[in-house]
Amino acid sequence: MTGNADLLIDVHGLNKSFGAKHVVRDLSLQVKRGEIYGFLGPNGSGKTTSIRMLCGLLRPDSGSGTCLGYDVITQTLEIKHHAGYMTQRFSLYEDLSIRENMDFVARMYGMKNRRAAVEASLEKLGLAERRDQLAGTLSGGWKQRLALAACMLHEPKLLLLDEPTAGVDPKARRDFWEELHALAASGISVLVSTHYMDEAERCHQLAYISYGTLLTRGTAHEVVAKQHLVTYLVSGADLYALAAHLKTLPGVKQVVVFGATLHVTGEDAARLNESMAALQKNGDYRVSLAEPSLEDVFIHLMDHAAEPFT
């Protein structure tokens, strides 16, 4: 094992292509021990490919670095044995019970005292009373809990979670994130990809990737501040017509509907301020300055991303 003991992930210049598609471009990423690191980006941006390179399932075409102290090029087997990976789709056997699935995973890792380990894991994540239930009959939230239990069974120090809460109800998502923070507090590092901005805000650090290129990183506050955006909240009658009108005004780069309010965002503060001041003189509209949200930044980055893979 090599590398900085405080960094569970420390990679530089990773690249991966599939045929003519350059899916990940010069990815550099550092994740500290006990840190929850959010991985953001639109569908097809290279998040899953990046995660699979980090956990030893895909070999990078070039680049270097370590995961859990093991080389991501030459020591992928060791990484697989010491990291926990949760896929986008439920990947356990639906025609096996919860306990049978867990026992199968324990066998795959060659765990000693696997039965005791399985029972302890079932108790820890509240699955004991359902141990004989077929996995295929579980709701999305319970499948998620089972998948987390399975990837935690061998007690990894790093979890790589690929959109783990997609299709899960809000309560199950909240419970899942409370468990992630408890794990992080115990020293486990988590790299998690997500499309939910409320989840992104719960991460210690964030990285945004688009079309294979890492565009920005930092805390949620730092990511927002780096874009130097100005946002106004505008409301009034006939939001659809109002939005169309706002998009024509100087300084306006994006207009997004949030319920009964429009988020109007731009990069040129002077021009946008003038446009909003003029609009505010119309008594039909309510206009107020607001802090740009992480979602405003997310949409801005999507709109300014490079063209797809070339």
Per-residue pLDDT reduced to its tens digit, 100-141? 999 999 998 888 888 899 999 898 888 899 999 999 999 888
Question: Mean per-residue pLDDT for 47-74?
Answer: 94
C-alpha closest to that of 72 among 180, 183, 160, 162: 160
Mean pLDDT calculated for residue range 262-284: 92
Among 166-175, 233-242, 249-258, 293-302, the minimum mean pLDDT is found in 166-175
pLDDT at 26 over 50: yes
Domains of the chain, first to last: 7-224 (3.40.50.300), 228-291 (3.30.70.100)
Whether the pLDDT of residue 4 is over 80: the answer is no
- pLDDT, residue 43, reads 83
Asked if pLDDT for residue 304 goes beyond 80, the answer is no
Lowest mean pLDDT among 12-16, 109-113, 271-275: 109-113
Which of the four pLDDT bands, split at 50, 70 and 90, describes residue 5? low
Q: Give me the pLDDT at residue 99, please.
A: 94
Would you place residue 225 in the very low, low, confident or very high pLDDT band (cuts 50, 70, 90)? very high
Q: How many helices (H) and strands (E) does the chain have?
A: 11, 14
Instruction: Give tens-digit pLDDT for 93-102.
Output: 999 999 999 9
Cα(257)–Cα(280) distance, integer angstroms? 18
- Can you read off the two tokens belonging to residue 228? 């130097």
* 2 has pLDDT over 90: no
Please state, in angstroms and rounded to a whole number, the distance separating the CA atoms of residues 169 and 141.
7
pLDDT of residue 307: 54
d(CA 200, CA 294): 8
Residue 48's identity, in one-letter code, is: T
DSSP code at position 55? T
pLDDT higher than threshold 50 for residue 309: no
